[in-house]
């Protein structure tokens, strides 16, 4: 019997087919050993798996460097418009395997590492979790049914993918005061922190393009003055240095709750101030036309630069750009404002009021006094315009002001972004419509041309080829490999929806993935599950609006039904919930305790047995997502209609052959359109129903008293059935659900339970279930990030996406010489 194909074998089939020139295995082995010996200073007698990972990572990185340099040379020669995507955090996932896939190196690396280790193919087990972000992350795990946070020192052993660029270090100023003189405005007596850039290469898929993610680290501006050294001064100098570098030492996990902390504002301004200095430097030093001419005037900046603000976190880019244009470049206000608004665009990611940033003016006055002056002037001119358009409408002026009056005067950063940008977009059609109809209604009425929609997308390279190579190969066998670059081609699968061989192959791949994940759970969670059960999965941030509590109520209801009728032919389920709560979010943390407490009871009930298991997935992150998503049968997307901006997890599950149970919220709406609503399990209130209930009033007690199974489940939570050692442990959840639940869990309970019954019934018919899966995979074309970015480019940034393939360097080092 032939040996079963591994994931690496399946990816190899895809990566080799149709591609000319596999990289030389001998050269890879030579470079691997060179890095092991000369970069890491190790031999195989003392090298660890981490050393082997770093040797392989540096070997693969060598193949990036030439392409990276050539890409930058190409941009310099062509002088195209450049896009700067400003975000406070990036969830990158693992870099090594993604890079090998994109450079078509994976098969050669597999063979080289196999040979280097004398046939012991360590392969990708060397791949550590290689996150990239501006700030250190938090590692979260579960202890005694609680979420506990601990620092994750992810740079302890270094990062082979990043390159420090100290030659481009930039000063960032804080505090001080503003002087208005006949010569101009000066921001003086400031405290300076240096921003040190670190560059990470981001390779395109087999097009030799390698773009750059630039991250900034805070450094103290000067060393100690040893001439004036004394003990007290030394200690204070150390403290001051630590204070300066704290800016990039820890990230405040915002998580849909805004807290106006000075360090967070420092972080936000630090990023944009460093980046804008970098943008101006690059703009002025770019090749201009056929000659190298330094641009001395920023008037053409919007022709060569697009700045995309990812939510309001980088909103200070607007007053900072104005400060540069006014105080450094000495532009007149009108010209500066025209440059600023034509350069900047704003993406909104939430409709929840508590998530919108509002910075106190006294904090801004102390930390960034010049910027507050500029914001006040922006607001004065903005309100003058509104007053002319709507004379006498003082309430509208109040609603649209950038400055919110009250007990504490605050700056509404979303309003600043809208006024200071030429385009504003949501990230799913329903989300963008809600912004225009409610949250930003006044602004939409004034400037309807600004408002757009850009539905989110995912990359099929990571979220199919890399994480689910078996499914990627099954698809390629039917429709070829071009779908990897053009996801719309998945529609061709509709011609095979009744093909028994495709139905068989897709079901087989799913079962293989479930077996693998079952083994992973047994190894890492010490839980043995039934791989033939339905894998019912909800993985996302823990938040009330995501409604993990609705899932909990279904689990309890199902548990009670099995207890009541143990001999019934129940569809076995393994329900897995994963995610992290913001460290200060009490209710979210309590929800985690409830999930784990329910699991403790259910999983040890001998009557229930393998028919129902409940698992909380600790420390959920991209790496775990790459394992659980390909193994999932059912994707839970059950937020209250009108609260989820878009979601991308829903798209990842859909692409990997999971069916969706969900509300008409976020991108679910468009998923139902693409796959056919009959091929999703849609339930519950629509946005209009939620709005009507908001007006008429939501009475949770009415549902509680009217629905016996709901009452039973709530009484069990309240009475300590799931917390026998502390009966009132979940009293805050019970009180919230019964008396002040903004997200109306009970209102959708009956519809959700009935929809879950349909799910269970269909799962008993594997052929019909898999046909529905094929419809979903075929409908995923719209949800490619390639489509999303192309739309941003054409419709916001004023650029045509380049299809030009940059010539590859002759060898990994040749790009530097050409």
Residues with a known catalytic role: 349, 540-541, 546, 648, 652
333, HSE (Cβ side, Cα atoms, 13 Å): 8
Residue 420's closest CA among 337, 333, 336? 337
Within 8 A by CB and 6+ apart from 261, the residues are: 252
> How buried is residue 387: exposed, middle or buried, by Cβ count under 10 Å (0-12/13-18/19+)?
middle
Q: What angle do helix axes 731-739 and 586-603 make, rounded to 10 degrees?
A: 110
Within 8 A by CB and 6+ apart from 263, the residues are: 246, 247, 252
Q: What residue ranges in 26-151 does DSSP mark as E strands?
A: 82-86, 138-143, 146-151
CA angle 586, 588, 589 (to 5 degrees): 65
In whole angstroms, how far apart are CA 492 and each of 200, 387, 668, 761, 787?
A: 36, 55, 22, 28, 18
Give dist(CA 793, CA 7) in Å, integer: 35
> How buried is residue 1: exposed, middle or buried, by Cβ count under 10 Å (0-12/13-18/19+)?
exposed
Could you give phi then psi for residue 798, rounded to 5 degrees?
A: 65, 40
Three-class DSSP category at 501:
helix
Give dist(CA 769, CA 102) in Å, integer: 33
Give dist(CA 68, CA 213) in Å, integer: 12
Strands 210-219 and 451-453: unpaired
Give dist(CA 105, CA 99) in Å, integer: 8
Q: Sign of the C-alpha dihedral, residues 733, 734, 739, 745?
A: positive
Kindly state the tokens that stand for 583: 């460290």
Q: How far is CA 260 from the centre of its chain?
A: 22
Q: State the greatest distance between any 2 C-alpha atoms of the chain, in Å, as a whole number.
A: 89
Give dist(CA 552, CA 497) in Å, integer: 34
Which residue's entry shows tokens 């209250």?
Answer: 640
Give dist(CA 211, CA 202) in Å, integer: 5
Residue 797's closest CA among 428, 487, 285, 421? 421
Could you give phi then psi for residue 404, rounded to 5 degrees?
A: -95, 120
Could you give phi then psi for residue 741, rounded to 5 degrees?
A: -90, 105
């Amino acid at each position: 019997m032939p040996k079963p194909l591994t994931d690496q074998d399946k990816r190899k089939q895809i990566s080799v087919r149709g591609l000319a020139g596999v990289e030389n295995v001998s050269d890879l082995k030579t470079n691997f050993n060179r890095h092991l010996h000369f970069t890491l200073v190790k031999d195989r007698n003392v090298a660890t798996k981490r050393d082997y990972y770093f040797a392989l990572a540096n070997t693969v990185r060598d193949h990036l460097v030439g392409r990276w340099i050539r890409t930058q040379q190409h941009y310099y020669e062509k002088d195209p418009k450049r896009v700067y995507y400003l975000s406070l955090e990036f969830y990158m996932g693992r870099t090594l395997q993604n890079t090998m896939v994109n450079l078509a190196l994976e098969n050669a690396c597999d063979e080289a590492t196999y040979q280097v280790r004398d046939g012991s193919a360590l392969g990708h087990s060397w791949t550590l979790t290689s996150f990239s972000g501006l700030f250190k992350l938090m590692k979260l795990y579960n202890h005694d049914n609680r979420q506990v946070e601990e620092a994750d020192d992810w740079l302890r052993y270094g990062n082979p993918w990043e390159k420090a660029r100290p030659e481009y270090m930039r000063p960032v100023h804080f505090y001080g005061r503003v002087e208005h003189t006949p010569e101009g405005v000066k921001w003086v007596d400031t405290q300076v922190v240096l921003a040190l850039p670190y560059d990470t290469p981001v390779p395109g898929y087999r097009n030799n393009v390698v773009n750059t993610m630039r991250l900034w680290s805070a450094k103290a501006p000067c060393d100690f003055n040893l001439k004036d050294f004394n003990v007290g001064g030394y200690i204070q100098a150390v403290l001051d240095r630590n204070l300066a570098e704290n800016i990039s030492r820890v990230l405040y996990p915002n998580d849909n709750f805004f807290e106006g902390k000075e360090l967070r504002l420092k972080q936000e301004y630090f990023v944009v101030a460093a980046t804008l200095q970098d943008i101006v430097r690059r703009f002025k030093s770019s090749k201009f036309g056929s000659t190298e001419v330094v641009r001395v005037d920023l008037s053409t900046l919007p022709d060569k630069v697009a700045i995309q603000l990812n939510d309001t976190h980088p909103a200070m880019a607007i007053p900072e750009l104005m400060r540069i244009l006014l105080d450094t470049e000495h532009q007149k206000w009108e010209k500066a404002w025209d440059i600023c608004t034509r350069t900047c665009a704003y993406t909104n990611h939430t409709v929840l009021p508590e998530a919108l940033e509002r910075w106190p003016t006294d904090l801004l006055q102390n930390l960034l006094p010049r910027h507050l002056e500029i914001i006040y002037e922006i607001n004065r001119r903005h309100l003058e315009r509104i007053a002319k358009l709507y004379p006498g409408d003082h309430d509208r002026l109040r609603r649209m002001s950038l400055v919110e009056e009250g007990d504490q005067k605050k700056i509404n950063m979303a309003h600043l972004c809208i006024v200071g940008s030429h385009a504003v977009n949501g990230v799913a059609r329903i989300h963008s419509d809600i912004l225009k109809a409610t949250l930003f209604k006044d602004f939409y009425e004034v400037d309807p041309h600004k408002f757009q929609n850009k539905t989110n997308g995912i990359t099929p390279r990571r979220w199919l080829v890399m994480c689910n190579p078996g499914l990627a190969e099954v698809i390629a066998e039917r429709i070829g490999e071009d779908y990897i670059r053009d996801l719309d081609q998945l529609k061709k699968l509709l011609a095979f929806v009744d093909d028994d061989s495709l139905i068989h192959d897709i079901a087989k791949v799913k079962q293989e993935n479930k077996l693998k994940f079952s083994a992973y759970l047994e190894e890492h969670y010490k839980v043995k599950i039934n791989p033939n059960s339905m894998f019912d999965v909800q993985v996302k941030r823990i938040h009330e609006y995501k409604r993990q509590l609705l899932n909990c109520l279904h689990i309890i209801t199902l548990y009670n039904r099995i207890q009541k009728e143990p001999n019934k032919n129940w569809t076995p389920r393994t329900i897995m919930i994963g995610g992290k709560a913001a460290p200060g979010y009490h209710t979210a943390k309590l929800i985690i305790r409830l999930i784990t407490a329910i699991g403790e009871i259910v999983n040890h009930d001998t009557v229930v047995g393998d028919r129902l298991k409940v698992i909380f997935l600790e420390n959920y992150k991209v790496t775990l997502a790459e394992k659980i998503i390909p193994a999932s049968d059912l994707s839970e997307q059950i937020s209250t209609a009108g609260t989820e901006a878009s979601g991308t997890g829903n798209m990842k599950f859909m692409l990997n052959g999971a069916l969706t149970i969900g509300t008409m919220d976020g991108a679910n709406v468009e998923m139902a359109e693409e796959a056919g609503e009959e091929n999703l399990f849609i339930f519950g209130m629509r946005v209009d129903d939620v709005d009507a209930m908001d007006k008429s009033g939501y009475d949770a007690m009415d549902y509680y008293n009217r629905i016996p199974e709901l009452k039973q489940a709530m009484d069990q939570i309240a009475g300590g059935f799931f917390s026998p050692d502390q009966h009132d442990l979940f009293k805050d959840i019970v009180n919230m659900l019964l008396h002040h639940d903004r997200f109306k869990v009970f209102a959708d309970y009956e519809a959700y339970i009935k929809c879950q019954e349909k799910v269970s019934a269909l799962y008993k018919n594997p052929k019909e279930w898999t046909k529905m899966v094929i419809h979903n995979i075929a409908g995923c074309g719209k949800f490619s990030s390639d489509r999303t970015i192309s739309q941003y480019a054409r419709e916001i940034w004023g650029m045509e996406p380049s299809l030009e393939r940059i010539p590859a360097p002759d060898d990994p080092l040749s790009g530097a010489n050409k």
